[in-house]
Amino acid sequence: MTTKLKGLHMNKASIPVTGENYSDPRREFLKNVLAGTAAATVLMASGPGVAATKKFALPENIPDPYKAKHHWIYVININNCIGCGNCVRACKRENSVPDTVFRTWVERYLLTNEGVYVESPKGALEGFEHYNEEIRKKAIRSFTVPKLCNHCHQPPCVQVCPVGATFKAPEGHVLVDWTHCIGCAYCVQACPYAVRFINPVEHKADKCSWCYHRTSKGMRPACVTVCPNKARLWGDMNDNEAEVTKIFNEGQWMVLKPQMHTDPSVFYVGLPKEVI
Amino acid sequence: MGALGLESLPGDAMINYVFPNNEHVFWSVMIVIYPYITGLVAGAFVVSGLSHVFKVKEFHPIGNFALIAAFCFGLFAAVPLLFHLGQPQRAYEIYATPHLTSAMSIFGYVYGSYMVVLMLEIWLIYRPFFIKKANEGAGGLFGLICRVLTLGIRRYTPEAAHVDHKFATILAGIGIPWAFTLHGYVGFIFGSVKSIAWWATPLQPIIFLMSAVVSGMAMLMLMYCFLMWKRKQPIDMPMMRKFVAFLWGFFILDFVLEMLEIMFAKYEHGHHWEVVYPLLTGPTLKYSFIYGQVLTLSVIPVVLLGFIVLKKMSDKMTILWTNIACFLLVMQVLFMRFNVVIGGQLISKSDRGFVSYQFEVLGREGLIVACGILSAPFIVYFILSRFIPIFEDPAAGAYESEPRA
C-alpha cells in the first residue's frame, strides 16, 4: 500500500516505527545516544550550570533526553490554529491510519454563558461546518485545539505495557514495537489523553509516533509540515536557537491534564482553561 | 443529552463530546468474565481453606469438593484473556519477557504459581485414590493417569497419610494468601489506572477480593445443592447454616465497601464525582448498577441471608432461600464486574461525555463465546466427577490395597 503526501511517496512496509524495519534507525539511535551521552557527561562534569537546566524529574528506567543528541518537543499555538484539518488528513495518509481511529485530531470549542460546545467530527478530517445561527448568537469565543500523543516523560502507557512493547526512545518519542505488542489494550486504558487505540486492521496498539520514520531522517512530522499557519511546531530543545526552545524558555505554555503528572512533551501556547 | 438518556454532563458541556478514540470500548465482555472466573477460583478455595486450615468442621464434607471446583474454574481463568488479546499467539511473552513495571505482567506468574499450589494440594489429597486405582489395575487412559500420578509408590500407609496431610495443610495455608493475592491483584490492575475515575481507588483490590469470595462461595453452594439433588442425597444442614453465616459476613463486608466507595466519592465531591455521578445516573449504569447490582442483587440477598441466619426456619425453607440468595449473589458479582469494567470505559477521557455501549453477540469477544467459556468449568467438573470421588473419602480402601505382582 502506497501513501502519497505532497509528492512524498512512502511504501507502508517501509514505515519503521511500528513495523519490522525498525532496527536500522534504532541502531543509529544507539550510536547517537552513545555520542550524546559521552558529550553530556563531559558537559555535566564541567560545571553545575548544565545540570541546573534539567527541567524534568525522570523515572530511573526512562532514558534522559537531555543526554541524547536531540531532545524533541512539540509546541501547539492555539492562537494560530484555524481548524482546517490539514494535519489530520496528512497524518491519516502518511501513517495509513484506519478511518475510525485517530493519531491526531482537532477539537473546536465554542464558549457561551450557558456552557461549552466541544466537537470533533471525524477528528476534523474534513474540517468543521459553520455553527447554526442559534449557537452563534450565544457565542462568546471560539477556538480550535489540535490533539496528539503527548510523548510524556512519565508515560503511563509505558509503565503498564506487560511485555515492554511500548517504550520511551532516547530522544523523546514514545513508540510501539509491533513485533512484540500483544494487543491487550492496557496502554489504551492507561493513557489519560485517549490518544492510543487498537489498530482495527493490525489488532495492535497504535498511536502518534511524531512520524518517527520521517523525524529520524531529519524531516518534520507530517502534521507539522502541512500546517499552513505554524500552529504546530516541532524541534530540538537541545538547540538553543530552535523556535520551540525559545517558546519553551518564555514559559508561557501549558500542558494537558497536568494533574495526571505525566510530564508531557507537547506544550500548548494560549491554551484556554476550558480545554481538557 | 435527552437522546442519550443522560441527566447531566460534566465539564459544563452543552453536548455529549467523546474523544474520537473513545468511541470504542476496548475491554468488553471477555474482560468482564476474566475477573469473574478468577473470583470463583478464589472464593471456592477459601471454602476449602476454611475446612483444611481453619478447621471449620462443618465444612469438612465439602472441603475436597471446593478444591476440585476451584481447580475447574482455575483452568479457565485465563482463557477469556486469550480471546481478548489482539495477538494471542504472543501471550507467552508475558511469561518470557515480563515488563516488571506493569501490574499486568506479573499475572502470569501469580496465576501460574497458584495453580501449581492448587494442583499439588489436590494431588496430595487424592494420592491414596490414585494408588488404590493403580493397584486395582484400572485400565485405559484413566488407569495410565493413575499409575503416572502414583509416581511409582504403590503402598499407602498411615505414616504416609500423616505426612501427606501435613503437607496438604501447609499448601492450603500457602494457598489462602496466594488466592487472596491473585484476586486482590486483579483489582489492583483496575484500581491503579489513574486515567479512569471509576476505577482509580485503592479500595478496588479489596472490593474485588471480597466479591470474589462471595461469588465463589455462592456458586459453590448452588453447585452443591444441584449435585445433592441429582444424587438424591440429603443436604448437610449444619454445613449449610454455617456456610450461610460465613457468606453473609463476607457479603456484608463486600457490600459495605462497595457503598463506601460511592459515598466517599459523593461526599468528597471532587473531580471523580463530577464524572461518576452522570455515569451512575446514565442510561446504562442506572439500570445495571443502581437498580441491578445495588437495589436488587445486593439489598435482597443481604436481607435474605440475615433472615436465614437469625431466624429459625425449616430445612426446606432454608434450602430454598439459600439457593435464591446464592443465585442473586452470583449475579450480583457478575453485574459488579460488568459495571466496573464496562462502566469505567463509558466515561470518555474528554471528561465531557459518555460512550454508549452495545453488547456484541457473535464474534470472538461476543456473548456466545463468553457463555461457552463460563460453562467450560462445569463441563470439566462433570467429567472429573465421573472418575474421582468428590464427596467420598479419597483414602477409603487405599491402606488395604496391595500392588499387583
> Are the beta carbons of B132 and B156 closer than 8 angstroms?
yes
> Nearest Cβ partner of A101 from B21, B102, B193?
B21
The answer to whether B351 contacts chain A (CB < 8 Å) is yes
Q: Give rounded-to-5 percent helix, strand, coil for chain B.
A: 70, 0, 30
* Best to test chain A binding among B21, B25, B342 (most A CBs inside 10 Å): B21
Distances (CA, A) of A109 to A138, A270, B56, B235, B319: 13, 14, 64, 66, 61
What ipTM was assigned to the predicted interfaces of this complex?
0.92
Q: What is the dihedral of CA B167, B172, B173, B176, to 10 degrees?
A: 160
Using the Cβ of B365 and the Cβ atoms of chain A, whether some distance falls under 8 Å is answered with no
User: A205: which DSSP letter?
Assistant: E
The chain B residue lying nearest A62, using CA atoms, is: B101
Q: Collect all residues of chain B within an 8 Å Cβ-Cβ radius of residue A202.
A: 86
Query: What is the chain A residue with the closest CA to B103?
Result: A160
How far apart are the CA of A126 and the nearest CA of chain B, in angstroms? Answer: 14
Cβ-defined contact of B104 to A276 (cutoff 8 Å): no
Cell numbers placing A165: 512493547
Residue B283 is predicted with a pLDDT of 87
A156·B194 Cβ contact <8 A: yes
Minimal CA separation from A177 to chain B, in Å: 13
Helix (H, G, I), strand (E, B) or coil at B274: helix
pTM of the model: 0.87
The predicted pLDDT at position A64 comes to 63
Q: Which of A120, A192, A202 sits opposite B195 (nearest CB)?
A: A192
Cα of B372 vs its chain's centroid, Å: 16
Query: What residue type is assigned to position A106 of the chain?
Result: V
CB B275 within 8 A of CB B197: yes
What is the β-pairing status of strands A232-236 and A166-168?
unpaired
**B328 CA to chain A: closest CA distance, Å?**
30
CA distance to partner chain B, nearest, from residue A184 (Å): 5
Per-residue pLDDT at B6:
65
Q: Which three cell numbers stand for residue B111?
A: 496465576
| Contact yes or no for B173/B220 (Cβ under 8 A) | no
pLDDT of residue A34: 59
| Cross-chain Cβ contact A184/B81 below 8 Å | yes
pLDDT value of position B108: 86
- CB pairs below 8 Å between A and B: how many? 142
Instruction: Mark the ranges of chain B whose per-residue pLDDT is less than 50.
Output: 1-3
Closest by CA to B9, choosing from B355, B403, B370, B308, is B355
Q: How far is B278 from B276, CA to CA, in rounded Å? A: 6
What integer pLDDT is reported at residue B11 of this predicted model?
A: 87
Low pLDDT (below 70) residues in chain A: 1-67
Q: Does B102 touch chain A (CB under 8 A)?
A: yes
Q: What share of chain A is helix, strand, coil (3-state, %, to 5)?
A: 30, 20, 50
Q: Which residue from A100, A204, A260 is facing B194, i.e. has the nearest CB? A: A260
In chain A, residues with a C-beta closer than 8 Å to the C-beta of B194 are: 156, 190, 192, 260
Could you tell me where the DSSP H helices lie in B136-203?
A: 140-149, 158-191
pLDDT of residue B399: 82
Residues in contact with A96: Cβ distance below 8 Å, sequence separation at least 6, in sequence order: A1, A3, A12, A15
**Is there a contact between A160 and B101 if contact means CB atoms under 8 Å apart?**
yes
Instruction: Report the residue of B24, B85, B89, B102 to disrupt the A interface, i.e. the one with the largest count of A CBs within 10 Å.
Output: B102
Cα–Cα distance, A222 to B182 (Å, whole number):
46
